[in-house]
């Protein structure tokens, strides 16, 4: 792959946020080009990318998605990555989960690739979290894991650890274009190849998020939600540094990846607020604004890459209500962040009321946060899951 080096990097304490990097070639081949030493371009060799793929788990959170889409996503993920499907689809009256497992089984018959699948509401999974003292992920009343995409991400991180992977990436099950999925994984791997710190995150930035209109396709650059989330995340940084910035362009990037070393020490916010919260938490914890409990991270720094995909992002349209909910959750975590001052809080309240998302006199809800997965004893956790045969393994 041939990718721009980050032309600008914003520093916030020990956090390095690299500006968006464009891809010149998705595949840069084996042959040396005549002029190989262009200092602003990084050539990442195929075998370097493949080496990372072997160490990478791809988590696919899924809830009631079309099986055809799920199968397409599976087909786009490089064979050497382990696939971890975390499902929260219904099991009765129609057993959608079983249909997903069957899809994986059929896929396995012909590909023999390694895959794990688990149901978010499996009582034995909740029990394993309970026994290892990780109650944050449980729904108080039901004694099961709570609904939510972030909850699925944590389950995914834990399973990536049980199979001893070094990196974990997240790809939604509702992606229409398998070729795009394939590119997301390559981009993750490229980011890990470029990283200098072991604490690294790679976020995909969409070149286009096309919309279908009567008159055809329109290649839209920004989603409305991302635009607003990015604006406020950038304001958080600007308010602390005193310099306006537009560095964050991936506040809501569902498709992103981390080194396990970083994924392990982060805290997570429930549901759809996870993606912006990860950034906020990194800024809070490693931005040098307060004493840290992770001196080793401060020393090495946290690196955040934002890579612009060549493929447009096509996914299921979940409707206006879903978008409003996403924006409310994103702005809520910013509002409740210790980095957000009174001024910014009132700007956020105005934004929410002007978009008819929240009444002016109401406080945005504070989504539950979940402590670092590192606190979970991985041996006990794995043993419990294996004893209860909680997850199905293919390969």
The span from the CA of 353 to the CA of 368, in Å, is 23
Cβ at position 81, least distance to ligand GDP in Å: 17
**147 binds ligand GDP per the rule CB under 6 A:** yes
Residue carrying the six token digits 């690299």: 18
Q: How many residues bind ligand GDP (CB under 6 A)?
A: 19
Q: Binding ligand GDP by CB under 6 A: which of 22, 43, 51, 63?
A: 63
Among ligand GDP, Co ion, none, what does residue 166 contact (CB within 5–8 Å per kind)?
Answer: none
The C-alpha torsion from 31 through 34 and 35 to 41, rounded to 10°, is -20
Contact call for residues 185 and 75 (beta carbons, < 8 A)? no
**269 binds ligand GDP per the rule CB under 6 A:** no
The C-alpha torsion from 50 through 19 and 266 to 145, rounded to 10°, is -80
Cβ at position 175, least distance to ligand GDP in Å: 8
Q: Binding ligand GDP by CB under 6 A: which of 6, 13, 61, 276?
A: 61
Q: Binding ligand GDP by CB under 6 A: which of 21, 28, 87, 228?
A: 87
**172 binds ligand GDP per the rule CB under 6 A:** yes
**HEC string of 254-290?**
CCEEEEHHHHCCCCEECHHHHHHHHHHHHHHHHCCCC
Cβ at position 154, least distance to ligand GDP in Å: 10
Single out the segment in contact with Co ion by CB under 5 A; choices: 151-159, 166-174, 276-284, 299-307: 166-174
The span from the CA of 98 to the CA of 96, in Å, is 5
> What is the per-residue burial (b if ≥16 Cβ within 10 Å, else e) of 37-62?
eeeebbbbeeeebeebbebbbbbbbb
**267 binds Co ion per the rule CB under 5 A:** no
Contact call for residues 242 and 182 (beta carbons, < 8 A)? no
Q: Binding ligand GDP by CB under 6 A: which of 28, 120, 234, 269?
A: 120
Q: Which is nearer to ligand GDP, 12 or 208 (CB)?
A: 208
The span from the CA of 46 to the CA of 25, in Å, is 12
Among Co ion, ligand GDP, none, what does residue 62 contact (CB within 5–8 Å per kind)?
Answer: ligand GDP
Among Co ion, ligand GDP, none, what does residue 255 contact (CB within 5–8 Å per kind)?
Answer: none
Q: Binding ligand GDP by CB under 6 A: which of 10, 19, 100, 174?
A: 174
Helices H / strands E in the chain, number of each: 13, 19
Phi-psi region of 361 (alpha: psi -120 to 50; beta: other; left: phi over 0): alpha
**116 binds ligand GDP per the rule CB under 6 A:** no
Pairing state between β 41-43 and 2-4: antiparallel
Q: Which is nearer to Co ion, 310 or 315 (CB)?
A: 315
Contact call for residues 248 and 228 (beta carbons, < 8 A)? no
Is residue 109 helix, strand or coil?
A: helix
By CB under 5 A, the residues from 290 to 329 that bind Co ion are 315
Is residue 50 helix, strand or coil?
A: helix
By CB under 5 A, the residues from 167 to 186 that bind Co ion are 172, 174
Q: Which is nearer to ligand GDP, 174 or 284 (CB)?
A: 174
Single out the segment in contact with ligand GDP by CB under 6 A; choices: 12-20, 123-131, 191-199, 311-319: 311-319
- Which residues contact Co ion (rule: CB under 5 A)? 172, 174, 315
List residues near ligand GDP by CB under 6 A. 61-63, 65, 86-88, 120, 147-149, 152, 172-174, 254, 315-316, 318
């Amino acid at each position: 792959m041939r990718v721009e080096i980050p032309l600008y990097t914003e520093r916030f304490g020990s956090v390095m946020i690299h500006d968006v990097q464009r891809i010149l070639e998705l595949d840069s081949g084996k042959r040396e080009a005549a002029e190989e030493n262009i200092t602003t371009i990084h050539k990442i060799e195929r075998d370097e990318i493949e080496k990372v793929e072997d160490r990478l788990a791809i988590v696919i959170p899924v809830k009631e998605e079309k099986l055809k889409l799920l199968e397409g996503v599976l087909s786009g993920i490089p064979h050497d990555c382990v696939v971890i499907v975390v499902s929260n689809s219904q099991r009765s009256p129609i057993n959608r989960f079983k249909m997903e497992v069957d899809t994986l089984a059929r896929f396995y018959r012909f590909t023999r690739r390694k895959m794990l699948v688990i149901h978010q509401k499996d009582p034995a999974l909740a029990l394993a979290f309970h026994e290892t003292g990780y109650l944050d992920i449980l729904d108080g009343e039901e004694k099961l894991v709570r609904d939510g995409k972030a909850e699925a991400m944590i389950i995914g991180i834990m399973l990536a650890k049980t199979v001893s992977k070094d990196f974990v990436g997240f790809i939604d099950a509702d992606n229409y274009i398998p070729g795009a999925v394939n590119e997301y994984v390559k981009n993750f791997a490229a980011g890990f190849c470029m990283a200098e710190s072991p604490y690294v995150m790679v976020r995909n930035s969409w070149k286009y998020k096309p919309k279908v209109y009567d008159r055809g396709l329109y290649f839209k650059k920004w989603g409305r939600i991302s635009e607003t989330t990015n604006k406020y995340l950038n304001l958080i940084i600007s308010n602390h540094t005193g310099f306006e910035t537009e560095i964050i362009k991936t506040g809501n990037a569902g498709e992103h990846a981390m080194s396990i070393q970083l994924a392990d020490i982060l805290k997570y916010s429930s549901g759809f607020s996870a993606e912006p919260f990860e950034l906020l938490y990194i800024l809070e914890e490693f931005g040098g604004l307060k004493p840290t409990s992770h001196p080793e991270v401060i020393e090495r720094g946290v690196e955040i890459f934002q890579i612009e995909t060549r493929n447009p992002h096509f996914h299921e349209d979940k409707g206006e209500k879903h978008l409003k909910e996403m924006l409310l959750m994103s702005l809520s975590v910013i509002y409740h962040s210790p980095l957000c001052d009174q001024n910014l809080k009132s700007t956020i309240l105005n934004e929410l009321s002007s978009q008819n998302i929240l009444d002016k006199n109401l406080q945005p809800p504070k989504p539950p946060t979940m402590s670092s997965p590192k606190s979970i004893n991985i041996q006990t956790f794995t043993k419990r899951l294996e004893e209860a045969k909680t997850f199905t393994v293919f390969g």
